[in-house]
Amino acid sequence: MQDVAEFVRRKGLALNDYFDPSRSAVIDDEHLARINYESFFFADTEARAVFLEDPIRYCGLVTDPVTKRRFRPRPTSPRADFDDVLYLFESGKSQTAFEQMPQDFVRPGYRM
């Protein structure tokens, strides 16, 4: 997977904190949370920690890495961790396919 923070810095993008758009996000791995193919940047590590305690509450729609369909995860949604990224799935079937060969699904099929 490409380094998301490096990509954002290289492009010269300025992002706002996910929770408080009046604050600038810090563009580095310490202030980044990733769920499936989504990236969330925060102004401080405390906001990131709040997000990571209950990511389903905050993340909104995500893309199932196996089916590539957008869905809204629920607390009961199947999940897996791979390479420091939380992956959520719309079904147990997707989770099983992912866990058998996760490296086949960690990229969304395009390059940044």
- For residue range 56-72, what is the model confidence (pLDDT) as tens digits? 999 999 999 999 999 99
pLDDT digits (tens, 9 = 90+) for 7-45: 999 999 999 999 999 999 999 999 999 999 999 999 999
The pTM score is 0.87
Domain membership flag for residue 112: no
Residue 98 lies in a domain: yes
Q: What is the tally of structural domains in the chain?
A: 1
Say if 53 falls within a structural domain.
Answer: yes
- Which residue carries 């995500």 as its tokens? 62
Residue 111: inside a domain: no
Asked if residue 85 is part of any domain, the answer here is yes
In a domain, 110, yes or no: no
Q: Let me know if residue 63 belongs to a domain.
A: yes
CA distance 99 to 110: 21
Structural domain includes residue 51: yes
Q: Which residue, among 72, 37, 33, has the nearest Cα to 53 in the 3D structure?
A: 33
Q: Distances in Å between the alpha carbon of 56 and those of 26, 75, 76, 87?
A: 22, 7, 10, 11
Which domain does 81 fall in, by range? Answer: 4-104
